[in-house]
Amino acid sequence: MGRTLFDKIWDEHVVADLGNEVALMHVDLHLMHDLGGGPGFRMLAEKGYRVRNPELTFATADHAVSSAPGRTEDTNPVGGRLLRMLRAASAANGIRMFDLGSDGQGIVHVIGPEMGLSLPGMTIVCGDSHTCTHGGVGALAFGIGSTELVHVLATQTLVQRRPRRMRVTMDGAPAAGVTPKDMILHLIGLVGAAAGSGFAVEYAGAAIRALGVEGRLTICNLSIELGAKIGMVAPDDATFEYIAGRPMAPKGEMWERALAHWRNLNSDGDAEFEREVRFDSGALAPQVTWGTSPEHVIAIDGRVPDPDGAIDAGRRASMRAALEYMDLKPGARLEGLPIERVFIGSCTNSRLSDLRAAARVAKGAKVASRVRAWVVPGSTGVKRAAEAEGLDRIFRDAGFEWREPGCSLCVGANGEMVDPGKRCVSTSNRNFVGRQGPGARTHLASPVSAAAAALAGCLVDVRKLGVEPWKNS
């Protein structure tokens, strides 16, 4: 029987078979960030271990740094302390760090692919659940906790259970105004936020093949919101073109060897998946969340569902609590709902293609007076590239704030939050209770929907603005 993409990468990384589908796996790349990095090194030292393979470990600062224009490392004082801990520990352990202001600094899931660190066929881990993002280049990547992080530092391996395999096939071609973010949000709404629990997900189909790597990274990023800690797309020519020439990518003869290897990374025709899901991306409308789980999502022209229609008591309870927190009623329309904040950024949607798409919507228009709108590029590299083509000017002229790279408003770990009771249209990945600040009400949406909401001052159907189809960069 054929093997899936996941199986091929998994099998290649087994250091020891521990029986019952448990294996000691080699970790090819370990990425660290400011929030978990310093504490991780401290735990390592407390346990009396040392870093086994510093050359396979890279660090950057993203979670706790301020995104304020002109920031210093102490703009957020707690973040400054975490940054210095990480810097000192990285230096002491021989680990390369992409520090504030340098090329390569940025959200860890943006810089990995951008710097050519994240490559097809690799096992990649990071103490952050959105590590699944790197599956967009065809890597087997997943988030880990602090004890597992120490395990990786000390041994360059992890004990893992082989997950079941799920394939999600997205057919067709999305309409104008429908982006990779809408495709993955729709999927989560369709199958639920726990559907991927225990699975590694492979995204396939014409709509995925047509996407550039940045769109695939967005799709894979939300795998964890589907419940799956691993999401991936088989690498193809688009992937190889994206990686070629990046600072840390293989070069010359090494590139040719790597490429020959990567061309085998795909699911065999007769490979079997324990679960298959399929839908037509051509039938989708722009998606927006109404509640406090990413599964609480509807089309922008739809209506908020009634909890009484849910089958399970647990789901009903979750929906009722969400409606109360979000101050919404069953049957309500989201279109026209007034908002106060817009956040375009995060490891989901802060890459150049995201900013270009949002800028096309913002160009020549004005942010509504009731709205404070932020654009936070995902990395120093994205920021420079965007500025080189004048995107910052388009955003600023329209009344958006153009900020410094980091996790910013996605995570509430850097002093940047949405005030209690305020509504924020956010291109991030979590609409959890209090995620953007205590009492903050988050509506997840695509970069173009978020930009359109900033201009309108309310949730709006971006298709009515005559938006262009999604473009890959």
Positions 135 through 154 that interact with another protein (CB under 8 A): 142-148, 150-151, 154
Closer Cβ to another protein, 136 or 163, answer by number:
163
Sole binder of another protein in the list 45, 56, 206, 238 (CB under 8 A)? 56
Residue ranges in 314-343 that form contacts with another protein under rule CB under 8 A: 314-315, 317-318, 321
Choose which of 173, 210, 433, 465 interacts with another protein (CB under 8 A).
Answer: 433
Cβ atoms of 361 and 446 closer than 8 Å: no
Q: Contacting another protein (CB under 8 A), which of 3, 15, 75, 335?
A: 15
Q: Find the DSSP H helices in 130-205.
A: 146-155, 180-191
292 belongs to the binding site for another protein (CB under 8 A)? yes
55: closest CA among 94, 27, 88, 97? Answer: 94
The nearest distance, CB 227 to another protein, in angstroms, is 6
Taking the complex as a whole, the smallest distance from the CB of residue 352 to another protein amounts, in Å, to 25
Taking the complex as a whole, the smallest distance from the CB of residue 430 to another protein amounts, in Å, to: 6
Comparison of 353 and 431: residue with beta carbon closer to another protein: 431
Q: Provide the CA 375 distance to its chain's centre, in angstroms.
A: 16
CB of 140 to another protein, least distance (A): 13
**282, 302, 330, 434: residue in contact with another protein (rule CB under 8 A):** 434
List the interface residues with another protein, window 438-457 (CB under 8 A): 438
Query: Residue 399: which of 366, 356, 355, 357 has the closest Cα?
Result: 366
Would you state the structure tokens that stand for residue 167, as one six-digit string? Answer: 């394939």
Name residues contacting another protein, limited to 219-278 (CB under 8 A). Answer: 224-225, 227-229, 248, 250, 254-255, 257-258, 261
Tokens at 159, concatenated: 């004990």
Contact between 313 and another protein per CB under 8 A: yes
Under rule CB under 8 A, residue 202 binds another protein: no
Q: C-beta of 327: minimal distance to another protein in Å?
A: 15
Strands (E), 122-184: 123-126, 140-143, 157-161, 164-171
CB of 326 to another protein, least distance (A): 14
Supply the minimum distance, in Å, between the C-beta of residue 264 and another protein. Answer: 12
Q: Is residue 128 involved in binding another protein (CB under 8 A)? A: yes
Q: How far is the CB of 36 from another protein (least distance, A)?
A: 8
Q: State how far the Cα of 106 lies from the Cα of 300, in Å rounded to an integer.
A: 31
Pick from 115, 100, 118: nearest CA to 33: 100
In sequence order, which residues have a C-beta less than 8 Å from that of residue 133 and are 6 or more positions away?
109, 112, 113, 141, 217, 220, 221, 347
Site string for another protein, 59-88 (x = CB under 8 A): ----xx-------------xx-xx------
Q: How many residues lie near another protein (CB under 8 A)?
A: 81
Between 261 and 366, whose beta carbon lies closer to another protein? 261
156 touches another protein (CB under 8 A): yes
Which range, of 26-34, 97-105, 342-350, 396-404, touches another protein by CB under 8 A? 26-34
Query: Helix, strand or coil for residue 209?
Result: helix
* Residue with Cβ nearer another protein (63 or 356): 63
For another protein, the binding residues in 345-404 under the rule CB under 8 A are none
The DSSP-derived string for 418-463 is PPTT-EEEESSS---TTTTSTT-EEEE--HHHHHHHHHHTB---GG
CA dihedral of 120, 44, 42, 407, whole degrees rounded to 10: 20
Helix, strand counts (H, E) of the chain: 15, 19
Residue position matching structure tokens 């209770």: 433
Candidate residues 8, 26, 372, 383; the one interacting with another protein per rule CB under 8 A: 26
d(C-alpha 208, C-alpha 5), whole Å: 15
As a 3-state breakdown, the chain gives helix, strand, coil percent values, each rounded to 5, of: 40, 20, 45
- Choose one: 117-125, 174-182, 348-356, 377-385; the region binding another protein (CB under 8 A): 117-125
* Cα–Cα distances in angstroms (integers) from residue 224 to residues 16, 133, 139, 320, 407, in the given order: 27, 9, 15, 23, 17
Choosing from 45, 68, 159, 210, the residue that interacts with another protein (CB under 8 A) is 159
